[in-house]
Chains A and B, each alone.
Chain A
Amino acid sequence: MILRTRNFSGETLVFVLPAILLLVLLLYLPAVLGFYYSLHELEGMVPGSYSGLSNYQAVIGAPEFIDVAKRTLVYIVGAVSLTLVAATGIALAVNTLTGPLATAVQIGVILPWAVSSVVGALMFRWVYVSDIGLFAYAIESLGLGPYRPLAGPVSGMLTLIASACWKKLGFAVIMILAGIKSIPADYHDAARADGATPWQAFREVTLPLLAGPLIICSVVLAIADLNTVELPLIVTNGGPVESTTILPLSIYSLAFSQFDFQGAITLAVFMFAVNVVLVASYVSITQRRATHA
């Protein structure tokens, strides 16, 4: 007997079941187990006595947690803002180009996003950040050296934000360009006919109509930046003086540098909860847009 409801059938279940099983095995089950482990004292990776929320108190109540949380917020806000601004400018420029030039520019921008995160982070570090990299050589050849972006806490964070922007710019350009192309040309024609300057047309016509794609893009970028460990690990190594140690890197350090698995699991569950909030926002926004459309 095939189960049928208004929009659902047993046949549908057969098709989505493999994906659901994978999600359960790779995401939900580890999350549930992680939550279980975080409520117990770990004895050599095995849950021992029940400890309630004391592990959360220990981790979130630690003096360094507030600093890590602040740095993570600065990093996310900085990286998302810079990426959106740069991507909007590039998308607007690409929208005016045609033919091979438009294709070449798009490929050039999207390439960092297309390579694997670790490879991208290594490339960024070797080319732009290392004192034996091409960029440092070019800077010093122009007489602007020496070049030490990782030597200070502020420049270190700016370098990390720049690396996040460089890596995710391609994705943001694609999303925003799609948004720009969905704006009917009549609107811009009407604005031009009314004597609007390009800046006025952008501010009064383009930007309001791009609000949806920009909000969705910012939530997606925030989720991606929150869950990035390879960029701070490879580009800045969390320094100097932990100035670029953000939440995911803190979890990695706890687990694999300090071998504090208890702290790492607890913090990871906390971060999972933050991710749930962000994803819920994303789903809510997209559903609202679908309803209005």
Chain B
Amino acid sequence: MRRRCKLLTALALCVALPSFAAQAQDKTLRLWTFLNPNGTEARENALKQIIAKFEAAHPGVKVQVEQQVWTQMTPKFLAAHASGTAPDVIWVHSEMLGKAISGNTLADLNKLYFASRSDDGADLDNVFWQFSQKDGAQYSVALTSGIFGLVYRMDLFEKAGIKPDSIRTWADLEQAAAKLTTRSTDGNVTRWGLCQHFGKAPNSSAIFISTVLSKTGGKMFSSEGKADWANPAGEEGLRRVVDLVQKAKVSPPDAINWTEDDMYDQFAADRCAMATGFSSRVARLQQTLGKDKVGFMGYPSDDPGKPSPQIVNAWFESVWSKGKNTKEAAEFVAYTVSPEADRIWVTVGGTIPNRKSTLKELQDFLAKPENQYLGAAAEYIQKAGWFPPIDADIAGYRDFINVAIQKVLTGQATPKDALEEAQSGYNRKHGFK
């Protein structure tokens, strides 16, 4: 009996040992992102395909996605870096990239990968690529980049006889919104011409920001991050936002508490003809409303035909500086912006091309009416994209601006007083006197 047990144990070990050895050779890269590769959204489908192709090309390396809440992901990463438990690959929020770099949490991708591949760098060179460079190091690649602008219903525009390129000034925008606002017989609005959102949220106050940037030449903050929006440009921007609700009555007053997601829900529920949205959300709205129904355009300005500056945004995929698998992680990061992956991001994920070569190759694809938004967003970024100062900690500024907008909407303050209170509150919070 004892002999049989020993024999069985030895047999079991012989079978198990090779698989243990194989597992010991397998490397697992932990990836923090807000996308779920098993989800149904376009970008999630793209990520799933990219991961599958990377794993097929790199036997022994597995990518394990740990989905996170996007608002909490970067702060969690910084905490995890301090405790030594950060993931190998992280998608960093653009507003916290400076903090992540200065905290030495991110590895230099030039040393790990790109230094020996200068052609790659040239093909990837754009405002996002440059934004994540510091002192000769490359800290990130940009994924799902985009810009805030006007998401609009192409079918409703056509029905109302409005051409998108006829919206060249703020006055044109208000007129178009008025034409697109529909009411029932008892006077209640059934569809708003232009939906905004003023709830405290990480993304909002886009029309205010566009106005201020346009009037001040891009000076909303000092290079250290001190706010400078309590001025005539700020008052004009705030009045513009509020007048769309109260005077023109083309934006819903309920938006005082809407988050960005509430606004997209309303848009998808056919309650908005236009919305102050982000370009990379168009693909998801098209999944709900139809590919030929949702388009994108930039914000107009007082200068006909010249778009207002607007914040660009991206998720900056980076390698953790203290990870055990930095080489493999850098290869994965580089793969996610490879020509093959970039094509997948565009054709499957509905995101703007990262590479100049992708833009050329997919000209026919981008020319299709349902993909109009990609070209429009790429052009808007090129003409008027604006990045906040990377080294400045400007976190939370939108909260202060939105509260100022809410105060004016509820009649609790004038635009001047509301903006001064918001500016001084923000500056005090960030240690500026």
Using a CB–CB cutoff of 8 Å, the interface residues on chain A facing chain B are 44-46, 64, 130-132, 140, 145-146, 148, 150-153, 156, 236-242, 245, 253, 255-261
- Specify which chain B residues have a CB less than 8 angstroms from the CB of A261 in the assembled complex: 75, 79
Q: Which of B202, B269, B412 contacts A241 (CB 8 A)?
A: B412
Q: Which of A44, A131, A146 contacts B103 (CB 8 A)?
A: A44
CB distance from A54 to the nearest CB of B (A): 13
CB distance from A60 to the nearest CB of B (A): 15
User: Would A239 and B406 count as touching, CB distance under 8 A?
Assistant: yes
A151/B253 contact (C-beta < 8 A), A146-B188, A238-B200, A261-B75 known? yes
CB distance from A153 to the nearest CB of B (A): 7
User: Would A260 and B259 count as touching, CB distance under 8 A?
Assistant: no
User: Would A150 and B257 count as touching, CB distance under 8 A?
Assistant: yes
User: Would B257 and A240 count as touching, CB distance under 8 A?
Assistant: yes
User: Would B199 and A257 count as touching, CB distance under 8 A?
Assistant: no
* Interface 9-mer from B16-24, B324-332, B370-378, B395-403: B395-403
- Specify which chain B residues have a CB less than 8 angstroms from the CB of A242 in the assembled complex: 200, 403, 406
A-B contact pairs, 8 of them (CB 8 A): A44-B78, A148-B253, A239-B257, A241-B406, A256-B72, A256-B75, A257-B201, A257-B396
- Taken together as a complex, chains A and B put the C-alpha atoms of A172 and B74 apart, in Å, by 39
User: Would A45 and B399 count as touching, CB distance under 8 A?
Assistant: no
- Taken together as a complex, chains A and B put the C-alpha atoms of A213 and B397 apart, in Å, by 46
- Taken together as a complex, chains A and B put the C-alpha atoms of A132 and B269 apart, in Å, by 9
- Taken together as a complex, chains A and B put the C-alpha atoms of A139 and B403 apart, in Å, by 29
- Taken together as a complex, chains A and B put the C-alpha atoms of A241 and B199 apart, in Å, by 9
Q: Which of A130, A240, A259 contacts B406 (CB 8 A)?
A: A240
What are the 8 tightest A-B residue pairs by CB atom distance, in nearest-first order?
Answer: A258-B396, A259-B395, A44-B103, A237-B199, A150-B257, A241-B406, A45-B82, A240-B256
User: Would A152 and B410 count as touching, CB distance under 8 A?
Assistant: yes
B293 sits at the interface (CB 8 A): no
- Taken together as a complex, chains A and B put the C-alpha atoms of A83 and B252 apart, in Å, by 33
User: What are the interface flags for B242-280 relative to A under an 8 Å C-beta threshold, 1 for contact and 0 otherwise?
Assistant: 000000000011101111001001100101000000000
**Band of interface residues on B:** 35 or more
- Taken together as a complex, chains A and B put the C-alpha atoms of A256 and B81 apart, in Å, by 17
Q: Closest residue to B406 on the A side, CB-wise?
A: A241
B2 sits at the interface (CB 8 A): no
A255/B75 contact (C-beta < 8 A), A239-B200, A241-B407 known? yes
B392 sits at the interface (CB 8 A): no
- Taken together as a complex, chains A and B put the C-alpha atoms of A145 and B184 apart, in Å, by 13
B429 sits at the interface (CB 8 A): yes
- Specify which chain A residues have a CB less than 8 angstroms from the CB of B202 in the assembled complex: 257
User: Would B410 and A240 count as touching, CB distance under 8 A?
Assistant: yes
- Taken together as a complex, chains A and B put the C-alpha atoms of A200 and B92 apart, in Å, by 65
- Specify which chain A residues have a CB less than 8 angstroms from the CB of B262 in the assembled complex: 130
CB distance from B183 to the nearest CB of A (A): 12
User: Would A148 and B254 count as touching, CB distance under 8 A?
Assistant: yes
Q: Looking at A146, A240, A257, which has the most chain B CB atoms within 10 Å of its CB?
A: A240
Q: Looking at A140, A156, A258, which has the most chain B CB atoms within 10 Å of its CB?
A: A258
User: Would A153 and B396 count as touching, CB distance under 8 A?
Assistant: no
Q: Closest residue to B73 on the A side, CB-wise?
A: A256
CB distance from A32 to the nearest CB of B (A): 16
User: Would B396 and A140 count as touching, CB distance under 8 A?
Assistant: no
B311 sits at the interface (CB 8 A): no
CB distance from B278 to the nearest CB of A (A): 17
B96 sits at the interface (CB 8 A): yes
- Taken together as a complex, chains A and B put the C-alpha atoms of A152 and B412 apart, in Å, by 11
B216 sits at the interface (CB 8 A): no
Q: Closest residue to B77 on the A side, CB-wise?
A: A45
User: Would A258 and B429 count as touching, CB distance under 8 A?
Assistant: yes
- Specify which chain A residues have a CB less than 8 angstroms from the CB of B425 in the assembled complex: 64
- Specify which chain B residues have a CB less than 8 angstroms from the CB of A151 in the assembled complex: 253-254, 256-257, 410
CB distance from B392 to the nearest CB of A (A): 13
- Taken together as a complex, chains A and B put the C-alpha atoms of A64 and B403 apart, in Å, by 13
Q: Which of A146, A253, A259 contacts B200 (CB 8 A)?
A: A253
- Specify which chain A residues have a CB less than 8 angstroms from the CB of B75 in the assembled complex: 45, 255-256, 259, 261
- Specify which chain A residues have a CB less than 8 angstroms from the CB of B81 in the assembled complex: 44-45
B85 sits at the interface (CB 8 A): no
User: What are the interface flags for B61-91 relative to A under an 8 Å C-beta threshold, 1 for contact and 0 otherwise?
Assistant: 0000000000110110011011000000000
- Taken together as a complex, chains A and B put the C-alpha atoms of A152 and B407 apart, in Å, by 10
User: Would A253 and B399 count as touching, CB distance under 8 A?
Assistant: yes
- Specify which chain B residues have a CB less than 8 angstroms from the CB of A253 in the assembled complex: 200, 396, 399
Q: Which of B82, B256, B399, B406 contacts A257 (CB 8 A)?
A: B399
